Amino acid sequence: MKVKKLFLVLLILASFTMLFAENDQEEWVRTIKHGITFGTNYIFTEDAKPGHGFGHHIDYRLSQKSYLSFGIGYTELYKEIIPDADSPALYRHLDLQSNIWYWSLNYQYFFKKDTDFLNPYLNVGLAPFAFNQDNGLKQVFNDGLIRAGIGAEFFINDIFSITAEANFNATSGEDFDLESGYDMFADLSIGFSYRMEFPEPVCPCPEPTPQIPEELIQKISELESQINSMAIVAEPEPEPLDSSLYMIQPQDYLLDLCDKFYGDSTRWKDVYRWNGILSKTNPNLIYPFEEIWFKELKPGTIDPLDYDYYEYTVQPFETLWSIAKKEYDNPLAWIIIVRDNRYVLGDEVHLFRPGLKLKLRTKVFNHE
């Protein structure tokens, strides 16, 4: 009876503490914990011996310091059998008292925050269970229990923790008893928990609308009237820029061309970039009769390179060099003939022969 009274006092004290504890208004993060426990237990009888058990629980956070825990588990309660004088057995032995599967619902109240290394808590709950007795033979019974206890959680880090818990359990005592006084037992367990947090999405609060003084509103209105009465002069649109293909002439230097076309000789790097020339230090990698692009020009800066083609028949003893000298007034212009007739000559320039039909330009340079 003393044990039963102690259990009832502990249960009432734990319930009173949880129900009337100070309501913590601090922010908290929605949390779910998964854990496993292993423990030992003891029936409150003279011939009882320690038993053992294990369980799994899922805890859902209700507030800053409270959790609702759902668990399933298995436990065995033992007692020692002392043979009678007429029994052939000559020694004591352990006999299985009850083999229990249970489902539990517990309320846990923690005294500290999760940020502390050690966090003690109170635990109250109830559990329906099924059990068999006398070494699991024959009959299976159903019963229920209520429990109250204390525990502590030791945080390894923000995710993992170790728990230690001690509970007093009381059954209804109808089918669970084999003899009077077998309806209460204590358990001591240690476990390992893994926690997952689910922060609420942060919704920024709109800033309060500032109150504008009436005098300021009136001045703004006057200013708007003055602005509306003023003639609005449209800004001239920027002049569109142009791009031109330019034929390099003998004695042309890129620095001089950039200074002539842009008024800035340092633009030679832009010209290299537009034409895919990789050098970043030598502005002199241009050659006569090479065609390059000049972009971002004011319209009319460079005369367009407009020309037509005419057909030319190669005569005996003529070469590309001599034709360029004859038609373009410069033997180095043979590269233009090759470039314009690449589909006729291809890579086999040595196939150049009399009677071959070539197309030549009517104009070579931009200013002609």
Q: Which domains does the chain have, with CATH numbers?
A: 2-198 (2.40.160.20), 242-297 (3.10.350.10), 309-361 (3.10.350.10)
91 pLDDT exceeds 50? no
Residue with tokens 């008292």: 97
300 pLDDT exceeds 50? yes
Q: Which residue has the higher pLDDT, 352 or 202?
A: 352
Residue type, 163: T
Alpha helix (H) ranges present in the chain?
2-19, 214-229, 254-262, 268-275, 320-328, 334-340, 342-345
CA-to-CA distance for 54 and 36, rounded, in angstroms? 7
Which pLDDT does position 258 carry in this prediction?
Answer: 92
- Confidence tier at 57 by pLDDT (50, 70, 90): confident
Residue 248 CB burial class (10 angstroms; 0-12, 13-18, ≥19): middle
Which pLDDT does position 310 carry in this prediction?
Answer: 92
136 pLDDT exceeds 80? no
76 pLDDT exceeds 50? yes
Q: What is the mean pLDDT of residues 19-48?
A: 67
Which pLDDT does position 236 carry in this prediction?
Answer: 66
CA-to-CA distance for 342 and 325, rounded, in angstroms? 19
- DSSP E strand stretches across the chain: 30-43, 48-61, 66-81, 93-110, 118-133, 140-155, 160-171, 184-198, 242-247, 291-297, 309-313, 357-361
Mean pLDDT lowest for which of 124-133, 200-209, 349-358? Answer: 200-209
CA-to-CA distance for 294 and 306, rounded, in angstroms? 16
Structural element, H or E, at residue 26: none
Q: What is the mean pLDDT of the chain?
A: 76
CA-to-CA distance for 99 and 3, rounded, in angstroms? 23
HSE of 346 in the Cβ direction (CA atoms, 13 Å)?
Answer: 3
CA-to-CA distance for 324 and 335, rounded, in angstroms? 9
- Confidence tier at 2 by pLDDT (50, 70, 90): very low
Mean pLDDT lowest for which of 80-94, 209-223, 239-253, 269-283? Answer: 80-94
Q: What is the mean pLDDT of residues 61-73?
A: 82
181 pLDDT exceeds 80? no
Q: What is the mean pLDDT of residues 24-41?
A: 73
